[in-house]
Chain A
């Protein structure tokens, strides 16, 4: 690639042609402030509408200021990033933005983690001139099962729109209205509930302000913990332990499994269990289903639908129910680990500890916002009593721990309770893209071939490439596997399935870029994809350290089948651990 030379703040820098001023400046260690700009480098995700105009710079010979994020360097260009003209413009524009933003930082869910707040601080804004006559753009607040939209706080960075449309191809959010009233919303400013929203939460994950946040369920959880008549059980998803530490200042990728267990116990949960246990159970059910379909297919059974699609991810389930209802018989019928856990906890475990299911409360800690919606689905409750009562995100848990005067850094390492706290490495890797299918392969291979795997790490299934494929040799039978993370990538594979062109036997889909580690409920990455990579590494590290790394070797899973379920895909297993899917229709509600 051709290299060009330019000068930024009197320093020369060589960059490849096509580099933006922003990146060239960063190469020199000059950190031009940005607000709307966001990049997840390793996933080819970039948002640069050049709308906030905070990153403006002075380019010699140019009439007006140039946004560093979207202006490409030219040979011989002379750029100044902090002239008085630039600083005055940046401050004035920031004052504009703040003049149309609520000042209720005290009670804003994003307080302390808000990019707008940080920018105001960085630029030293202490007052907003003309605030007394400045009208604010206000909107109706919208609460859905997972996500709250408070557009008064929207700064039109368009990150959510980019994630929803370009990355996820969900198309729930787009810019509406013009001028001062412009904001990002579902079509016709409907509620999110009446849009194709999958609750994947990627909009929340990238929102720089408090415009998009999760529905906070910690007050309800606190109430049940305070209720002596309730036995409260908690399950923690694999991706949570790889990210929770970030909220307490730990390096991204720090595993806090033991400390998290101690914190949960200290918060008053009666039993601290692991969703990984249910992940192992999922593998038993889904792996068996895969082998069953595969065997039937190989025997020429035309009713055997291949490829089988994973069904652990509730955002993904919502996506295909909305966009691919014609394919709703294709995914595995296995419930997600969260719901399998809930079903087992409120049957097998409740019986074991002799507690009525109505007095047993199941709380899940999830890296995900779609899980909030999933646990509220009608089919996942018995007589109005949900299998999983509340789902709270990693962020909510962190806040909850802080409220209890606990500092995760100083906590002892605890151990999960038995029996639903035991898991294998296979359950752990559910938290990252490629992990579910790798876990399934480990078990399916051994069941299908009757042989022991010599090599447990299927590195060919790992990575951050949006769509990946691999062929695994099942002792002479080549099993072709496809993997997609991000719903836009999933759509590509699904289109092939719909057209009958898919070459795969099994496809793993996770709605969020990176998988659950990049979920909508995780600590905010603020556009640093290194954080997501570090979390993935942590997950694989936890897997490596586990004595047992294949789901079917989990002794408590074996016991569960012996004592309660019979065998995988048995009638009882079907009743408790499998589900079906529904066509989601467009519901356009006339505006109130």
Chain B
């Protein structure tokens, strides 16, 4: 493998790919070839940079210059100016909103500076398809140290002392999990990496696998050494083709370098990793369902105990950790438990990656120390609410998390505080809502997802969630009565209390937390039959303010159902019985005479 002098890293994350970063990479390649630079310059597709709303993002290394909003047509200029002449293309740089200054590297951006990148340490920096780059960034050093100088118990002690908790959602102490798997004796054990990542909008696992696959492979091997497993399995959804391809490449390269496979580094320890594909069922992120899916069975959970650490894949002790959890392991080994546990809160150590989405200025992937407040995340890193609107709620923990409100803004985010606030960490999705969002509709929206994704095994989740959804639908249509709110609450509590797995045990969270924090909004729907946010179509009423109406008849002419009547030059009236709330009149009115009540 010959080393190229310059690398142009094109972000291949979800956001940038969506904005056609593929075409940018292709154009750059064409330009490089046109200028016969292929021996010196290489285009690399990396994992997510975390600047999703600024994409497509291109980073030129080793200069560490970040270009944003790059179009395929910009390729020529980047090659001509930056690569050939060494002149940075100013117009493609990020402009700081406060200072108006053009910033060259990500490190200069305020949103980036607040972050602490442990999990994402190499994402967007190394070429994930080149193991030597990973090694140059310390990959496999921790494994070497573990295999040559440490006993499994010593490693487990470090992981325990670090305070690392599972990043997949549950927050179970990782070291303890390893210890249990170690203690269960068996002729064969398995290390499983959960890369199912089912939360819509969350893509940190994918980013790690795409941007730094060796971080996961190395940690799995370390775990294998600790629990005495010689086989590792990565359960990844088939919809992640780039991550799968990079994993395959990384596994092959690691084997070639003797870092996986038989007799690793001549220590006598052998560990091999295989990939297993999921079909994208949300419930398969639950570890027992995941294991069943890997065994070729229907992806549905079973009662725990037995835990996978006792009887997992093929009935053997199995340790299941999430991608992000594994990505924390090597730094912990190399820098020590004390270093890791110095970051974060009392019971939640280290950092957490969040996928910021919703009505926020900077959407994307961020990594912050545990204990960072919601306010810092939303208003500093996230750049505040879009269009200057008012913050209303933030939903954490994916579709079955809860909604946090203004009063939670200064709560340090960690596993326990989120649960106490009626939500959860989940895999780290964070969706921000503003004053225009109807919280009843928001709850209904999230339930839409869980109703679809319930496996159907247990009655409360299979039927209960459907009934919750129906009742929310009923309420948003203005057909609810006050007693429905009690029934809604009872159903939520029972579904949480009786469901078999984490899906049903958490799916009512969006309803419960909004019911708790936005009770008045629910009450408005069932008593006054009004939607305060003006979102619920059936509860809207279009109304003409007589004082503003000049009687131009434009609205009456555009109304598709002839619901508007009135004499020319006289105020018009909308008949609510006929009106279908299409909004055409409001759009047409030049005098702001039509409002939604």
Contact = CB atoms under 8 A, between A and B. Distances in A.
A85 B490 CA distance: 11
Contacts of A100: 463, 466
B456 A130 contact: no
Nearest to B458: A51
B497 A182 contact: no
Given A96-B464, A99-B463, A177 B456 contact: yes
B457 interface: yes
Contacts of A88: 490, 494
Contact of A50 (B281, B470, B500): B500
A179 B498 contact: no
A463 interface: no
A174 B454 CA distance: 17
Interface string B476-519: 00000000000100110010111110000100000000000000
A99 B464 CA distance: 10
Interface in B300-339: 300, 302-303, 305
Contacts, number: 110
A162 to B, nearest CB: 13
Contacts of A92: 460, 464, 490-491, 494
Contact of A85 (B456, B467, B497): B497
A52 B456 CA distance: 11
A477 interface: no
Interface string B239-282: 00000000000000000000000000000000000000000010
Given A89-B494, A178-B281, A50 B303 contact: yes
Interface stretch (A65-73, A281-289, A415-423): A65-73
Nearest to B306: A72
A97 interface: yes
B453 A178 contact: yes
Given A92-B494, A130-B470, A53 B456 contact: no
A557 interface: no
B498 A182 contact: no
B500 A133 contact: no
A155 B303 contact: no
A456 interface: no
B305 A156 contact: no
B61 interface: no
Interface string B454-474: 111111101111110011011
A258 interface: no
B568 interface: no
B452 interface: yes
A156 B300 CA distance: 13
A93 B499 CA distance: 10
B466 A135 contact: yes
A130 B471 contact: yes
Task: Kindly state the interface size class of chain B when it binds its partner.
Answer: 35 or more
B155 interface: no
B456 A156 contact: yes
Interface string A118-158: 00000000000110011100000000000000000001100
A88 B467 CA distance: 17
Contact of A179 (B302, B462, B505): B462
A179 B500 contact: no
A175 B283 CA distance: 15
A97 B459 CA distance: 6
Nearest to B490: A92
B196 to A, nearest CB: 15
A181 B451 CA distance: 10
A65 B456 contact: no
Given A96-B464, A97-B459, A133 B471 contact: yes
Nearest to B282: A178
Contact of B456 (A72, A96, A97, A181): A181
A89, A178, A181 pick with most chain B CB within 10 angstroms: A178
B298 interface: yes
A64 interface: yes
Interface string A66-92: 010011100000000000010011001
Contact of A99 (B457, B467, B496): B467
A155 B459 contact: yes
Given A67-B303, A133-B471, A135-B470, A180 B456 contact: yes
A49 interface: yes
A56 interface: yes
A130 B451 CA distance: 17
Given A92-B491, A96-B460, A135-B466, A179 B451 contact: yes
A93 B303 contact: no
A93 B459 contact: yes
B498 A64 contact: yes
Contact of A134 (B303, B457, B467, B498): B467
Given A133-B470, A179-B453, A179-B466, A96 B298 contact: no
A180 B454 contact: yes
Contacts of B471: 130, 133
Contacts of A181: 456
A135 B470 CA distance: 8
B459 A52 contact: yes
Contact of B455 (A71, A130, A174, A182): A182
A56 B466 CA distance: 21
Interface in A194-230: none
Contact of B457 (A64, A133, A182): A182
A374 to B, nearest CB: 32
Counting chain A CB atoms within 10 Å of each CB, which of B300, B467, B474 scores highest? B467
Contact of B463 (A56, A65, A96, A133): A96
7 contacts: A96-B463, A179-B451, A179-B453, A179-B465, A180-B463, A182-B456, A182-B462
Interface of A: 49-53, 56, 64-65, 67, 70-72, 85, 88-89, 92-93, 96-97, 99-100, 129-130, 133-135, 155-156, 174-175, 177-182
Given A56-B497, A88-B494, 14 more contacts: A49-B302, A50-B458, A53-B458, A53-B499, A64-B498, A64-B499, A64-B505, A70-B303, A89-B494, A133-B474, A156-B462, A178-B455, A179-B456, A180-B454
Interface of B: 281, 298, 300, 302-303, 305, 451-460, 462-467, 470-471, 473-474, 487, 490-491, 494, 496-500, 505
Q: Which 3 A-B pairs have the closest CB atoms?
A: A182-B456, A179-B454, A96-B463
